[in-house]
Amino acid sequence: MPAKYHIHTEPAPPRFRPVGKLGIVDWREDCAGCHNCVKKSCVYGFYRKEADILHDEPGYLDYIYQCKGCLTCVQNCTKGILTRVVNPEYMQLGDSYYTPDIILTTWFQAETGKIPVSGSGYGGPFSGPGFDSMWTDMSEIVRPTRDGIHGREYISTSVDIGRTLPYLSFQDGQPTASPPTLIEIPFPVIFDVVPEPWQKGAICYSVIRAASEIGLMAIVPGDEIPAESGHIIPLYRNAEDAPTSADNSAAMVMLADSPNVVSVQKSLKEKNPDQIVAVRAPATPKSHKRAVELTREGVEVIQFDFDPHGMEHESSDPRHLRDVMREIHGALVREGIRDEVTLIASGGIALAEHAAKAIICGANLVAVDIPLMVALECRLCGECERGEICPVDLARIEPEYAVRRIVNLMGAWYNQMLEMLGAMGIREVRRLRGETGRSMFFEDLERDNFGRLFGKRKDRIGA
């Protein structure tokens, strides 16, 4: 049995004061001055740690981003002058997809490397769009041996990238064909190209460094390959720009989809048979047909790229990654060629649970980009895109600090993947691919339980 994979994490405190969710409104004019303020007796010690900072800040709003909402200080104040509130600045973080809660969760994971736990539980809606209307089967959670984090059982999270043989054949006891080259990575996540607004300072370099440190891979533009080219996947936006020389040392290259991408892919394979050549295609309503076509032409790896919110392109009524990947996976299964290609899903992967759910829907692994930027304290405020000053000065971030934050985030994601696999009774993440029978979808539950009474749901008037 191979050694257990582990991501070493270390605390990486924020450089800037984070935007907190909860805080206490302190009506100080009614304070009795008892010199035994209940805020200082916070069971989590947050006010004791930040008392000096809060004392120097103007105004009456004391926001503590770690507040757990236990309300101890509110209940114990003898004058009843404390009230818990939600920070209005917190509500301005992110957007409709990368919600303030997701950003705060990512900050916590990047700082501590730990799985986020909320003492107050989940207080949101029962179901939502995209991944929020999908649940995983946790029927094995009661078994204490299903514990991958604390070492009582070995759970593999490694995946293979590349093409596999459709079948094995032997002659005189020897295989008649050599298996294609495969790349094994210890965790089903790779780092996508850093989005343009964040291509500044040491960010791109730090992403590559972090990928190398934990054994993953990072996609970089083909014209910006760094001197340290290990653990990178060069991406060529124009297939004709891809090097056709066998001197290209990258274990894997990626070509943007185009009408002649297959001919370029075959040319590269002729020059370097051991190099894996992937195709990056936008996710569209015709992606399932394109996946079958490319796989039959011999393409080894296909990355389907969704928009930042996980929605498909070129559609007046775009679907989420969840539904598109199920369609692509199903089309390949029906053609009997699913195991001949590796599918990568990118765009809209905001949380560790999204990575696992994308794999359940048919992907072999996922590519992430924006969560890495959020790990570096980005608030997704959009000010850099408008040419304004970045509130967390990402252009001046120190590489060592940035690498540590990204590694911490992946460490937390890895532990969550282990927890999920253990709770599902699955001992390797390869078995999770396309395993929709181990999950539940809101639409199916609603149809089976209420469809006979109320009919089909209409999401829009006139649908």
Domain with residue 290: its CATH number is 3.20.20.70
- Give pLDDT, residue 320: 97
pLDDT beyond 90 at 1:
no
Q: Which of 114-123, 182-191, 416-425 has the lowest mean pLDDT?
A: 114-123
Radius of gyration of the chain measured on its C-alpha atoms: 25
Is 290 contained in some domain?
yes
The whole-number pLDDT of residue 459 equals 59
124's CB contacts (< 8 A; 6+ apart) are: 101
Please give the distance of CA 214 from its chain centroid, rounded to a whole number.
16
The neighbour count for residue 199, using CB atoms within 10 Å, is 12
Residues 85 and 186 placed together within one structural domain of the fold: no
Judge if pTM exceeds 0.85. Answer: yes
Together in a domain, 243 and 164: yes
> Do 78 and 225 fall into the same domain?
no
Among 68, 92, 116, where does a domain finish?
Answer: 92
Tokens of 340: 């001949």
Q: pLDDT tens digits for 155-169?
A: 899 999 999 887 888
Residue 105 lies in a domain: no
Structure confidence at residue 152 as a pLDDT band (50, 70, 90): low
Average pLDDT of the residues in 176-200: 92
- pLDDT reported for residue 338: 95
pLDDT of residue 58: 47
Q: Is residue 456, in this structure, part of any structural domain at all?
A: no
Q: What is the pLDDT of residue 135?
A: 92
Please indicate, yes or no, if residue 115 is contained in any of the structural domains.
no
Torsion of CA 10, 14, 15, 16, to 10 degrees: 180
417 assigned to some structural domain: yes
**341 and 435 housed in the same domain:** yes
Read off the DSSP letter of residue 166. S
For residue 150, pLDDT over 80 is answered with no
Pair 218, 366 in one domain: yes
State whether 273 and 398 are in the same domain.
yes
* Lowest-confidence pick of 83-87, 94-98, 350-354: 83-87
pLDDT in the model for residue 413: 97
Is the per-residue pLDDT at 171 higher than 50?
yes
Q: Which of 55-69, 110-124, 302-316 has the lowest mean pLDDT?
A: 55-69
Which of these three, 92, 115, 143, is where a domain ends?
92
| 357 within domain boundaries | yes
Least reliable range by pLDDT among 16-20, 289-293, 341-345, 358-362? 16-20
Among 52, 74, 92, the domain boundary falls at 92
- Calpha distance 398→359 (Å, rounded): 33
Same domain as 88, residue 179: no
Residue 204 CB: number of other CB atoms within 10 A?
Answer: 18
In a domain, 120, yes or no: no
What is the average pLDDT score of the chain? 86
pLDDT digit string, tens, across residues 355-386:
999 999 999 999 999 999 999 999 998 887 78
Lowest mean pLDDT, pick from 169-178, 277-286, 434-443: 169-178
| Residue 287: domain span | 159-448
Residue 59: pLDDT above 50? no
pLDDT in tens, 109-136: 999 999 987 655 666 778 889 999 999 9
Predicted confidence (pLDDT) at residue 246 exceeds the cutoff of 50: no
Q: Do 296 and 435 belong to one domain?
A: yes
Question: How many independent structural domains does the chain possess?
Answer: 2
Average pLDDT in the 62-69 region?
65
Nearest CA-CA partner of 310 in 264, 365, 266, 348: 348
Distance separating the N- and C-terminal Cα atoms of the chain: 54
Does residue 396 register a pLDDT over 60? yes
> Are 81 and 170 in a shared domain?
no
Q: Does any domain span residue 107?
A: no
Task: Give residue 294's pLDDT.
Answer: 98
What is the crossing angle of helices 352-360 and 321-334, to 10°?
30
